[in-house]
Amino acid sequence: MEVLIMPNRKAATNLTAKLIANKVKTKPSCVLGLATGRTMEEVYDELAAMKLDFSNCTTFNLDEYIGLESTDKNSYRFYMNDHLFKKINVKLYNTYLPNGMAKNMKEECEKYERLMADHGGIDIQLLGLGKSGHIGFNEPLSSLFSRTREKALTHTTIEQNSPIFDKPEDMPKRALTMGVGTILEAKKIIMLATGKDKAEILAKAVEGPITSMISATALQLHPSCTVIVDEDAASLLTEREYYRWIFQNEPEWEAFR
């Protein structure tokens, strides 16, 4: 795992977008793992502004609410179409999300796993960091070997996401999500976290012990995981100076400085 500290939120989202863009340029047929949430909207705005060729790309999203039609404005399919897909030249039939309206959720999850495998796996997986330290909807006590599955959402997650709904009480209480084990199979992972409200959980996720109580700690096991943060999110990290040194001195980041 490498932690890169950027001076502010804009710089952090810009670097994240550049890393994804670099993969699209160097491997036009790449498979992108995508995330949702307010942190990602700026990343997608920057990617769309770059006018890249996404026509041969395939995308898989981390998760989807159970019980929301794809046309529902709070579904993640709607979110992805609105914030990214309609702004780039990706083929919609090459963009995949779990089907939260599937009649058989177990079969849907197994199908999603097969689809990812059939496409050769995820080349680069984008992640956010939930307030409880979850990645995807892998809530506390999620197995670090878990696969795509149904998951009950915690009160913390519901409290965090429900204000987006016109009627907060209408937020689904369950979702389909890639498992921690599924995420860890991506060839490259980028986790983006910004803001002081993420500082405490980020410190636990990056520098704390690996535990199923904080699914993001599993990223410490990945051979190619980059965590990109702003100064606010990094404020409680004990090795801040070293992380700044990495970005300023390691050859692999020279093109991005």
Query: Could you tell me the strand order of the sheet in which 95-96 lies?
Result: 2-6, 225-230, 189-193, 124-127, 31-34, 58-61, 95-96
pLDDT of res. 183 = 98
pLDDT of res. 222 = 98
pLDDT of res. 208 = 98
Low-confidence ranges of the chain (pLDDT < 70): none
pLDDT of res. 87 = 98
> Distance (Å, rounded) from C-alpha 61 to C-alpha 256?
26
pLDDT of res. 77 = 98
Closest among 222, 220, 178 to 202, alpha carbons compared: 220
pLDDT of res. 167 = 92
Domains plus CATH for the chain? Answer: 2-256 (3.40.50.1360)
pLDDT digits (tens, 9 = 90+) for 85-127: 999 999 999 999 999 999 999 999 999 999 999 999 999 999 9
Residues 159 and 169: beta-carbon distance below 8 Å: no
